[in-house]
Structure 1
Amino acid sequence: MAKVDEDRIAIRELVENWALWRDAGLWERFATLWHPVDGWMSATWFQGPANEFITRSREGFEAGVSILHFLGGHTCDVAGERAVAQTKMTINQRAAVDGVEVDVVCTGRFYDFLAVHHGVWKLVRRQPIYEKDRLDVVDPAATLALDAELLGRFPVGYRHLGYLQTKAGFTVKGGLPGLVGPAVQRLYDEGAEWLAGSPTPGTV
């Protein structure tokens, strides 16, 4: 098997382990996936170093925050000891909004910057791309009226996820990459620069 094929298999395994270990609360194993110096996570509710993301995720998990991830198609570009991967995903969050239990499903991609560290592929930066989302009440008999002003604060790709998370007490970042637009184009440019040898994985 060619080295680049071995690299792609290892990176796909890393991506799958990220979703499984994070959602199962296997925090020690989850920590091994990140670059120990440069690991960085961006999300709607968090932007910061990987070790802080792990701590915050663990606190939420233990407090009953329900966020799950499902993965789909995957592609990866490898350039020596660097790579950029994209993986289709959904983010599923269940919570109460104004006393009504709801599910939000957000569809998008994980856009990952990776590098080899001591012979092993590690995640340097993860930036989700948010393509579309929806909100459903869990009980079909329940009704929920959304605040149009609050919903309108967020881009179409994660407006319901941002709504739910704001109601749950999170501070949600605006302007994150969507299916099209300058934010996602900038991310693509940063990925190309990373593969070409940029000293940093874009603007984190």
Structure 2
Amino acid sequence: MTHDAEMIQRQRVAELVQNWAVWRDAGDWERFRSCWHEDGFMMATWCQAPASDFIKASQAGWAKGVSILHFLGGISVDVAGTRAIAQTKMTISQRAEVHGVLVDVVCTGRFYDFCEERAGRWGIVMRQPIYEKDRMDPVDPAARLDLDRDLLARFPEGYRHLAYLQTGIGYEVKRDMPGLKGERVEALYRAGAAWLRGETLAWPA
């Protein structure tokens, strides 16, 4: 692949990642569906499921007023033929009541996407966010918020406030997601390298 051809492929993958965030947060479900391949799979704190089920769960949450928004930063794309790994700096912002206080949780991390070009179309085969750090703030700065410290400590440092909020509104939160450091994220990097070598997808590990 020439340098120019590889650059075009990286741009196509970057556009795919950007479309995912814009269309999902806008509730544009049909176009959002086009970001995935049919066997696509989503790993989120609150939902680990095939893309079709994740979309249904997102629609259900949207209808109930669940507020989850995404903001994207820099993106790095590694391309190997018809496969790619995209890492995208992002924040997840969720608003809900915690113990009767309206709060915003902002979680900073990366989207780690296993992507593939099939029949000329790039799509996501697996999305695994990496959760690096988060915080919780009352929307009203004068409000007083007291958290259950024992519950908070049960979740990994990178997304413990996000998990606390999501648990409070009824979701079962996965407790071993990759963070900035550690074996879980190292295993993810190994799975990504294997994907680029053409091996069978080996995630979740």
TM-score, normalised via structure 2 length = 0.97
Matches within 5 A, 1:67-78: 67-78=68-79
Residue aligned with 1:28, SS = helix
Matches within 5 A, 1:127-142: 127-142=128-143
2:48 aligned partner, one-letter code: Q
Aligned to 1:47: 48
Count of aligned pairs between the two proteins: 203
C-alpha distance after superposition, 1:126-175 (max 9, x if no partner): 00000000000011111010000110010000000000000011000001
Aligned to 2:21: 19
Aligned to 1:10: 12
Aligned to 1:115: 116
Cα deviation, residue 85, structure 1 = 0.6
Matches within 5 A, 1:1-204: 2-36=4-38, 38-203=39-204
C-alpha distance after superposition, 1:5-51 (max 9, x if no partner): 11011011000000000000000000001011x20000100001000
Identical pairs, percent: 60
Distance 2:108 2:89 in 1: 8
Distance 1:201 1:118 in 2: 23
C-alpha distance after superposition, 1:89-148 (max 9, x if no partner): 000000001110000000000000000111111100000000000000011111010000
Q: Does the 8 Å CA contact 1:113/1:201 hold for their aligned counterparts? A: no
TM-score, normalised via structure 1 length = 0.98
Residue aligned with 1:2, SS = helix
Cα deviation, residue 198, structure 1 = 1.2
Distance 1:153 1:104 in 2: 17
Distance 1:198 1:42 in 2: 20
| Structure 1 unmatched ranges of 5 or more | none
Distance 1:9 1:148 in 2: 44
2:21 aligned partner, one-letter code: A
1:169 aligned partner, one-letter code: G
Distance 1:50 1:103 in 2: 26
Distance 1:122 1:76 in 2: 14
2:25 aligned partner, one-letter code: D
Q: Does the 8 Å CA contact 1:78/1:195 hold for their aligned counterparts? A: yes
Distance 2:204 2:161 in 1: 26
Distance 1:143 1:108 in 2: 27
Cα deviation, residue 199, structure 1 = 1.7
Distance 1:138 1:2 in 2: 47
| Structure 2 unmatched ranges of 5 or more | none
Q: Does the 8 Å CA contact 1:151/1:159 hold for their aligned counterparts? A: yes
CA RMSD in angstroms comes to: 0.9
Cα deviation, residue 62, structure 1 = 1.3
Cα deviation, residue 201, structure 1 = 4.5
2:14 aligned partner, one-letter code: R
